[in-house]
A = this chain, B = another copy of it.
Amino acid sequence: MEEKFKQLSEKLAELSDLVYASAVLGWDQQVYMPPAGAEERGNQLGTLARIIQEKATAPELGKLLEDLMPYAESLDPDSDEARLVKVTHRDYDKRKKVNPEWVSEFARATTVAETAWEQAKEKSDFSQFQPFLETIVRLRREYAQFFAPFEHVYDPLLDDFEPGLKTVDVKAIFDVLRPQQVELIRKIMDKPQVDDLFLHRPFPAKGQWDFGVSILTDMGFDWKRGRQDKSMHPFTTSFGLGDVRITTRVEPDFGIESLFSSMHEGGHALYEQGISPTLRRTLLATGASMAVHESQSRMWENLVGRSEAFWKRYYPRLQQMFSSQLGNVDWFTFYKGVNKVEPSLIRVAADEATYNLHIMLRLELEIALMEGSLEVRDLPETWNAEMKDYLGLTPPNDACGVLQDIHWSGGSIGYFPTYALGNLISVQLWGQIHKEIPDLENQIGDGNLGSLLEWLHINIHQYGAKFEPQELIQRVTGSKIDPKPYIRYLQEKFGQIYEI
């Protein structure tokens, strides 16, 4: 059995090398590739994806996993070995259920859909994108059928991002969240708005970059095992435990957004850098789920980076760096400014209090599309009606509305809810951290972020993908994903800022 386990490890090492190689090509594509490199890069990524799929569904791998299942069951169920066999077996089974012809058709459909989406967005004309999205919705409904029977047609899609999580659970969570979050925003809107005009002045790019680097360093980002570059859309990627990279967007007209972007991606990167070396070159050397990953980025971006304690400590340094922009702005005004709540049309620009509503809207539409209760052609109208309902706004055009996100054009349905779940998990963990590190706020106020990172390493990061998200959160906090701490957090934080 140990010989077979060694064989499995070798196969997984090869697979993970190929996945990392793809990641390097993908990183370069977004960061440094010259424009004319796109077509060939697409070929290279396509070839790697095909080889990965072949190897990940090879019958010898399946046989090995079958043979190893009894062995895995004989081990401590929390051991790396037992979990590795279990998670790999699950991944193999899922991949095998999907028809290879569907995989090819889906790859073709999303390639043309992304281009169509770009053009449709540029012209702000949903009708140009409609037939492509119809194909994607059809293919995603077919995809779900590979996993029949299921409780809900959306379950198999959600499972790709949140292993083990069910649509019914997500709905239940959002049903609790929605009315309270809508209510809070209504109360905020009744209060005088905070000032954030000072954030809309140009901030020189070099200062933004340097400040971001100094904060990443204080967060514990290991520069020997990673780097930061610039890209149009910030992201985090890993080429192995010794090379985790983030990007940020640094433009003078973007205020200090690059700082929050660096902290957000830095949170993702600390997760990847913190995975136990024992999981190296396996399927477990990644985050537990997209939502758990997002909980890390949101924690550093919002719970640390938009907190009073953080700015008490760091504001003097920022103010000194940008004295002409911030010389006359006191720290509490600044703190309130970076926490301004204002319903807006664009998800990625949304503040903490309104962000989840953008997600709920998308989740409802995705579920309706998958159930067949909503037709793609009716999407813009429904989108606009729900925006009005949730946030009191009506998009002036499709580009600011239904066409704003790239996700659907790339075939991602089931991804959006992970953003909101990440917010909830971050606060749920935050509560637990405060129980175990009672003077956390003081430590942050002293610029000492080390024990926070250590806690995350010990309780979350080191495990990689050993545990499913609900299991992990339950282990750490004693309960499954729970929206109540998040609601309390929003009420307290914005209650203070808006004097509710």
Interface residues of A (CB under 8 A from B): 13-14, 17-18, 20-21, 24-25, 28, 32-41, 43-44, 46-48, 51, 222-227, 229, 239-243, 280-281
A223 touches B18 (CB 8 A): no
Seed contacts A18-B51, A37-B239; 19 additional CB < 8 Å A-B pairs: A17-B43, A17-B44, A20-B44, A21-B21, A21-B44, A21-B47, A33-B243, A34-B223, A34-B242, A35-B224, A36-B222, A37-B240, A40-B239, A40-B240, A40-B280, A41-B240, A43-B240, A44-B239, A51-B51
Closest to A31 in B: B32
Q: Which of B21, B28, B38, B225 contacts A37 (CB 8 A)?
A: B225
B36 touches A243 (CB 8 A): yes
What are the nearest 6 A-B pairs in CB distance? A37-B243, A40-B240, A36-B242, A17-B47, A36-B225, A17-B44
B residues within 8 A CB of A33? Answer: 243
A36 touches B239 (CB 8 A): no
B residues within 8 A CB of A24? Answer: 24-25, 28, 44
B227 touches A40 (CB 8 A): no
Q: Measured between alpha carbons, how far is A63 from B242 in the docked complex, in Å?
A: 42
Closest to A281 in B: B43
Taking the closest CB of chain B, its distance from the CB of A248, in whole angstroms, is 15
Taking the closest CB of chain B, its distance from the CB of A216, in whole angstroms, is 13
B residues within 8 A CB of A223? Answer: 34
B residues within 8 A CB of A14? Answer: 47
Closest to A14 in B: B47
Q: Measured between alpha carbons, how far is A36 from B221 in the docked complex, in Å?
A: 13
Q: Measured between alpha carbons, how far is A34 from B246 in the docked complex, in Å?
A: 12
Taking the closest CB of chain B, its distance from the CB of A223, in whole angstroms, is 7
Q: Measured between alpha carbons, how far is A289 from B243 in the docked complex, in Å?
A: 35
Q: Measured between alpha carbons, how far is A28 from B243 in the docked complex, in Å?
A: 11
Given the known interface contacts A25-B21, A28-B24, A47-B17, the answer about A225 and B40 at a Cβ–Cβ threshold of 8 Å is no
A41 touches B239 (CB 8 A): yes
B44 touches A224 (CB 8 A): no
Closest to A48 in B: B21
A-B contact pairs, 19 of them (CB 8 A): A13-B43, A14-B47, A17-B43, A17-B44, A17-B46, A17-B47, A21-B21, A21-B44, A21-B47, A34-B223, A34-B226, A34-B242, A36-B225, A36-B242, A37-B239, A37-B243, A39-B240, A40-B240, A40-B280
B residues within 8 A CB of A37? Answer: 225, 239-240, 242-243
Q: Measured between alpha carbons, how far is A138 from B36 in the docked complex, in Å?
A: 45
Q: Measured between alpha carbons, how far is A46 from B21 in the docked complex, in Å?
A: 11
Q: Measured between alpha carbons, how far is A368 from B38 in the docked complex, in Å?
A: 47
Q: Which of B39, B51, B243, B281 contacts A242 (CB 8 A)?
A: B39
Closest to A21 in B: B44
B residues within 8 A CB of A25? Answer: 21, 24
B residues within 8 A CB of A41? Answer: 239-240, 243
B residues within 8 A CB of A28? Answer: 24, 28
Closest to A226 in B: B34
Taking the closest CB of chain B, its distance from the CB of A31, in whole angstroms, is 9
Taking the closest CB of chain B, its distance from the CB of A334, in whole angstroms, is 33
Closest to A23 in B: B44
Given the known interface contacts A24-B24, A28-B28, the answer about A243 and B34 at a Cβ–Cβ threshold of 8 Å is yes
B residues within 8 A CB of A225? Answer: 34, 36-37
Most buried by B among A35, A47, A229: A47
Taking the closest CB of chain B, its distance from the CB of A144, in whole angstroms, is 31
Q: Which of B38, B39, B243 contacts A40 (CB 8 A)?
A: B243
Q: Measured between alpha carbons, how far is A14 from B44 in the docked complex, in Å?
A: 8
Q: Measured between alpha carbons, how far is A280 from B43 in the docked complex, in Å?
A: 11
Closest to A27 in B: B28
